[in-house]
Amino acid sequence: MPKKLLNTNTLPTRVQERLSTWGRCIHTQRLRQRITAADLCERISISEATLRRLERGDPGAGVGAYITALLILGVFDDATPPLTPSLWSDFPHRRVKLSRQERGIEEDDEYF
């Protein structure tokens, strides 16, 4: 059995809630669309054990498997709305610079 990467006790509540919601969504949509577990597993290239973990909201299952399942079931955009560009785009050469005080440099007028 593969080792879990994440401990559910240390996950933030909101993360665990989101994974549980995604899992319920995957399970519900799979049944509504009459897709067998074997067929969905084949399309995602995962085992049935991994699908059961996804449907339970297990944080040890890969996020790629969750996202792929949501995409295949046609609910990707509803379940994972896109981020606004301001969150991920960066202006070139825009870096945060520490102040002289934060860098530990004392202002010395007689230095030069």
Residue that is written with structure tokens 């945060």 in the block: 96
Whole-number pLDDT of residue 89:
75
- Residue type, position 4, single letter: K
CA-to-CA distance for 22 and 28, rounded, in angstroms? 10
Whole-number pLDDT of residue 11:
87
Q: What is the pLDDT along the chain (112 residues), one digit of tens a residue?
A: 555 555 667 889 999 999 999 999 999 999 999 999 999 999 999 999 999 999 999 999 999 999 999 999 999 999 988 888 877 776 655 566 777 777 776 665 555 5
Tell which residue, 28, 30, 25, has the closest CA to residue 79. Answer: 25
DSSP letter for 35, please.
-
3-state DSSP of 81-105: CCCCHHHHCCCCCCCCCCCCCCCCC
**Residue 89: CB atoms within 10 Å:** 8
Whole-number pLDDT of residue 108:
57
